[in-house]
Amino acid sequence: MAASVADTLDDGEAGRNGYRVPAVDKALDVLEFMASSAETLTQTEIAAGLGRSIHEIYRILLLLEKRGYIFRTQSDRFRLSLKLFELAHMHPPVNRLVECALPAMRELTANADQSCHLVVREGQNALVVLQIDSPLPMRYSVALGSHFPILETSSGAVLLAHSNRAERDRIVERIVAAGEGQGSRAEIEARLNEVARLGYEMRASLAVEGCTNISMPVRDHTGAVIAALTVPLLPQKAARFGREAVFERTQAAAEKISAALGWSDSASSLRADPERRDYPFSD
């Protein structure tokens, strides 16, 4: 991955003036390499991973740290900050996703008496890009910009289950090796296969006792799953709607967002249909 930036510049510029900016190459290589790693990295590990000397990347790391793109831990290791996330929110595709989702999510919270959030995948993490609170005084919500290990969330399971097989296998392998998978390799695969078969995940939250996650895929104009819409259903006396109603309204909201992004499928696998055998509220 790291070599791709320089290679792209070489190929793209060769036909014009062959101009290169080595310092920019190095900075982008460092950011891309760090983004591909789920762990914090030492200066030595970064240099080795890029095939460069420590001297070559020393000033680059200092500059990226000064500009807020990376953080240095107390153990003198480096990790990415959220600055790239902040910049990404200025980017039209993310803006479009949020703009398309906002009306449907506001309607969902009003008609479900529950909070909801929108999540995208960032490497092996689930990243919250939009959060709408329940109108009720008591509510459960997650902070905008929060990162979670991908399989600790239903949103992450939905996103990973709908990833291409090679990418899914690579991430699962890393999760299992790190012991972060909430089960064995076989159990993880069974969970993801079931999510892919059903088209959603509804299960007890792994993080909050008494909360049920209802998570649905959001598709772009090509049909690719680019986000997950999740309601952390918190039962309470003041809530007017039961789990079945919230489930159906969450599916409908996911379809509205997908339609706003250009996806169209009259035979939608997302639509709540009581006649379907995998519909969870069938008798």
Q: Where are the domains of the chain?
A: 2-81, 87-260
In order along its 283 residues, the chain shows pLDDT tens digits of: 444 444 443 444 444 445 677 888 889 999 989 988 878 999 999 999 999 998 888 999 999 999 999 989 888 899 888 787 777 666 666 778 999 999 999 999 999 999 999 999 888 889 999 999 988 887 788 888 888 889 989 999 999 999 988 889 999 998 888 877 677 889 999 999 999 999 999 998 887 878 899 999 999 988 999 999 999 988 888 888 888 999 999 999 999 999 999 998 743 444 444 343 344 444 3
pTM assigned to the model: 0.64
- Local structure of 21: helix, strand or coil: coil
pLDDT for res 125: 87
* Domain boundaries 2-81, corresponding CATH code: 1.10.10.10
pLDDT for res 192: 95
* Domain boundaries 87-260, corresponding CATH code: 3.30.450.40
pLDDT for res 88: 63
pLDDT for res 103: 96
Give me 129's structure tokens.
């890009």
pLDDT for res 7: 44
Give the end-to-end CA distance of the chain in Å, rounded to a whole number: 51
Handedness of CA 220, 222, 228, 229 (dihedral sign): positive
Residues 116, 44: Cα–Cα separation, whole Å? 42
Residues 145, 254: Cα–Cα separation, whole Å? 20
Contact 215, 142 (CB under 8 A): no
Closest CA to 224 of 158, 153, 163: 163
pLDDT for res 3: 44
pLDDT for res 248: 95
